[in-house]
């Protein structure tokens, strides 16, 4: 699938990346290669929904009910119990090291 320069420019704009015309030509070519690869993978499996736990023709009825509990609100841990296993806390919260350049 050939990706045009305009499509590459659109993708770059969505990613908020400013690219030169030369870079857009290269990106369009690389995106085309990636999309062609994905298209070649499309025919590998016949399974329309291989992640579904039931056969497509089997509705999840009583004998096929999912083995998951319903998600309902319940008891929660106190702040003290929640923080008890934390290696470092600060002001009643988890404390983690900074990861941005201007954080310490």
Write out pLDDT tens, residues 13-43.
999 999 999 999 999 999 999 999 988 887 7
Q: Is 34 inside a domain boundary?
A: yes
Supply the pLDDT for residue 86.
93
- How many domains does the chain fold into? 1
Q: Which range marks the domain in which residue 36 is found?
A: 5-41
The answer to whether the Cα torsion of 55, 58, 63, 67 is positive or negative is positive
Task: Return the structure tokens found at 100.
Answer: 């941005």
CA gyration radius for the chain?
25
- Torsion-angle region of residue 57: left (phi > 0), alpha (psi -120 to 50) or beta? alpha
Would you say residue 66 lies in a domain? no
Rounded-to-integer distance, Cα 104 and Cα 89, Å: 16
- pTM to 2 decimal places: 0.42
Query: Residue 90 belongs to what H/E stretch?
Result: strand 89-90
Inside any domain, residue 21: yes
């Amino acid at each position: 699938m050939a990706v045009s320069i305009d499509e590459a420019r659109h993708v770059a704009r969505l990613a908020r990346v400013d690219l030169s015309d030369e870079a857009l030509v290269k990106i369009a070519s690389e995106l085309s290669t990636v999309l062609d690869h994905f298209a070649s993978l499309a025919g590998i499996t016949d399974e329309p929904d291989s992640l579904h736990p039931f056969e497509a023709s089997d509705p999840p009825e009583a004998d096929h009910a999912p083995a998951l509990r319903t998600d309902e609100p319940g008891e929660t841990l106190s702040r003290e119990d929640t923080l008890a296993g934390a290696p470092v806390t600060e002001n009643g919260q988890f404390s983690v090291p900074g990861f941005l350049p201007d954080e310490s």
